[in-house]
Amino acid sequence: MTDLKRNILLLSMMIFSLNTVSCVEEAEASTGGDVLLKCVSDKPLLAPFSVFWRDKDDNNVLDIRGNKEDRKGQSEKFKGRVFSEEKLYEKGNFSIQMKNVRRSDSGLYDCNIPGKFKQSVRLTVTDEPDEPDGATGPGPSDGSSSVTPIFSSWFCFFFSLSHFYI
């Protein structure tokens, strides 16, 4: 078997053996602002479903159970600061908005839909305003964030297709 064929075979085996789709995105915000942490599945989920948001220290950021927010086990660190839009769940959108962002919120966040999808977002919180000197540019000027994928969209899309069509 040639090296090229062997490499293609190994790559194919790796792709088709994935159990969950996982991509990492970047989000930035300034202290005191709001930030959107994105988690969007390419396919709507059949109800009921569970989605679990965790931070870098495995603290409960927000759970979604039975198509509703479940705050029973939510970490004190996030109470009153993290929200989602229940009406978007049916479209596969489980993104959360974090208000009054703190410097200590910096780090990796995971949105996990067990056995289906995993989205990681790396949040960077700075002390500077998003637009220095009052300048306005594209995007929000209220301290909220933009989310930029580390992997290109086609890469994540390719892996999600390999998961759903196996």
Q: Is 132 exposed, middle or buried (0-12, 13-18, 19+ CB in 10 A)?
A: exposed
Q: What is the pLDDT of residues 78-113, one digit of tens each?
A: 999 999 999 999 888 999 999 999 999 999 999 998
Cβ-contact 92, 44 below 8 angstroms: yes
Beta strands 82-84 and 21-30 are unpaired
What is the reported pLDDT for 67?
85
Domains located in the chain, CATH noted? 18-128+140-164 (2.60.40.10)
User: Is pLDDT of 154 > 70?
Assistant: no
pLDDT at 132: 47
Q: Residue 139's pLDDT band (boundaries 50, 70, 90)? A: very low
Q: What percent of the chain has pLDDT over 70?
A: 64
Q: What is the DSSP letter of 111?
A: E
Query: Mind listing the pLDDT tens digit for each residue in 1-47?
Result: 677 665 555 444 444 434 444 568 999 999 999 999 999 988 777 77
Q: Average pLDDT over the chain, rounded to whole?
A: 75
Residue 42, pLDDT score: 80
CB distance 113 to 45 below 8 Å: yes
Question: In angstroms, how far is CA 37 from the centroid of its own chain?
Answer: 5
pLDDT at site 152: 38
pTM of the model: 0.67
- Angstrom CA distances, 160 to 2, 17, 44, 109, stand at 29, 12, 13, 20
CB-based contact 125:103 (threshold 8 Å): yes
User: Which residues are paired to 86 by β-bridges?
Assistant: none
What is the token pair recorded at 109? 């966040």
State yes or no: pLDDT of 138 exceeds 70.
Answer: no
Cis check: omega of the bond before 48, within 30 degrees of 0: yes
Give percent of the chain above pLDDT 90.
49
For 95, phi and psi rounded to 5 degrees?
Answer: -65, 155
Q: What span, in angstroms and rounded, lies between the C-alpha atoms of 74 and 76? A: 6
